[in-house]
Amino acid sequence: MRIAILSVHTCPLITPGSRREAGGMNVYLNMLTHQLASRGIAVDVFTRWHDPAEPEVMEAAPGLRVIHVEAGGRGPQPDRPLPPLTGSVTEQILAFQQREGLVYDLVHAHYWLSGLVGLELKQRWGVPLIAMFHTLGAVKNQARAGEHEPLGRIAAEHEVIAGADALVAATEDERDLMARLYDADVSHVQVIPLGVDTSTFHPLEKQLARKALGLNGERLLLFVGRPDPLKGLEVLISAASQLDDPDGVRVIVVGGDGGSEEGFQRAHDLAAQIDMTSRVDYHGSVAHDRLPYYYSAADVCVIPSYYESFGLVALESMACGTPVVAARVGGLRSTVQDGETGYLIPWHCPEPYAERLELLLDNEMLRRALGTQAQAAAQSYSWSAVTDQIEALYERVLHTNPIGS
């Protein structure tokens, strides 16, 4: 089997969190494509040429190639919109395929921009298209006041959902949203969760992890992600200020890039207003294999997002044995078991977060119990199990069997 995987707007080789367009999807693509290639499937990933110093074709592993195409030039994502460039991306992929004399069995597109390219390749190559969105524009617009995903994106998502041979949703919640907001035929939607690399994400001894990061014995609350308004960092900072002893608590923020100045400024301004400036540390983007030290060093990982299609940060924290306090939104409702692996908060205000954080910080036995259960729950999300489901989906689509039959 030879498959073409499309990741038009972000290259999976970019470190997650180092740029505005690099996040959980980069982790997903890296892990999935390596797993597929290890099973003898030839995988070509077509993606943006993110670094002019990189060659057009890079062999990431035996059987796995990353092929760079120009979309708005080579280098960081351009300020101008990418959608008008999808036609050019399609032609470059077709030219590469013809030059190499390749035949692809199917196309697996990730995110809506890739979906548009995938629809054209489906027609030109006469092969099935599988699409996964990772986030949905209509859901983001509903999640928080002030979000304005363009109508063109939402229209494109409708087009891809209608034209794909199969759709992948990370949770039942995402599948239901596809049906309700985009009129998706649920018989064409396969629910397959994201995975976690349990060989990398596992508990480390807390004091050793803190020493490795230069952190002291304070109570630590961890936030992992870009300071995007949808991630709710301000909710965490406000909640930390309302704890009985905020001076004994430190908020560690991991993530963000050169395009995150506005988000960091909002967080800095809020912290200054509520006398929390000295209690919030910004560690910036870190290598993905460094994250287990942060999860293990923390007492609690906090995810106050307004929207998460799955909640990969929650899963990584759980795999490291650290309980999660998260918003009861989107995929987090499936990833976190309320009262068993952490707590889910149904409101986006600091008071209920402060209440649950206080409970966990004051009760080491409770933290340990939830952490142990969290680690056990994370074991069912191994990348091997996830890839089994993706590979089975490929086989069903190639044999034109209906999903779920």
Q: What pLDDT score does 48 carry? A: 82
Whose CA is closest to 317, among 337, 292, 340?
292
Q: Name the burial class of residue 370, with classes exposed (0-12), middle (13-18) and buried (19+) by CB atoms within 10 angstroms of its CB.
A: buried
Q: In CATH, what is the architecture of 206-380?
A: 3-Layer(aba) Sandwich (3.40)
Supply the pTM of this predicted model.
0.86
| The two three-digit tokens of residue 245, written as one number | 């002893």
Contact 123, 147 (CB under 8 A): no
| SS percent in the chain: helix, strand, coil, step 5 | 45, 20, 35
Helix (H, G, I), strand (E, B) or coil at 321: coil
Helix (H, G, I), strand (E, B) or coil at 344: strand
Helix (H, G, I), strand (E, B) or coil at 67: strand
CA-to-CA distance for 66 and 47, rounded, in angstroms?
A: 7
Please give the average pLDDT of every successive group of 10 residues along the chain, which has 405 residues. 91 62 77 96 91 88 93 58 73 95 96 94 96 92 78 94 96 94 95 94 96 92 90 96 92 79 88 95 90 98 93 96 96 94 95 97 97 96 94 93 47
Q: What pLDDT score does 404 carry? A: 45
CA-to-CA distance for 345 and 338, rounded, in angstroms?
A: 9
CA-to-CA distance for 389 and 382, rounded, in angstroms?
A: 11
Which residues of the chain form CATH 3.40.50.2000?
2-195+382-398, 206-380
Q: What pLDDT score does 80 carry? A: 47
Q: What pLDDT score does 263 carry? A: 82
Q: How far is CA 304 from CA 240, 344, 345, 346, 353, in A?
A: 12, 9, 8, 10, 8
CATH code of 2-195+382-398, in short, is 3.40.50.2000
CA-to-CA distance for 118 and 6, rounded, in angstroms?
A: 7
Contact 259, 285 (CB under 8 A): no
CA-to-CA distance for 310 and 331, rounded, in angstroms?
A: 4
Q: What pLDDT score does 84 carry? A: 63
| The two three-digit tokens of residue 100, written as one number | 């190499």
Cα-trace Rg, the chain: 21
CA angle centred on 25, ends 96 and 13, rounded to 5°: 55
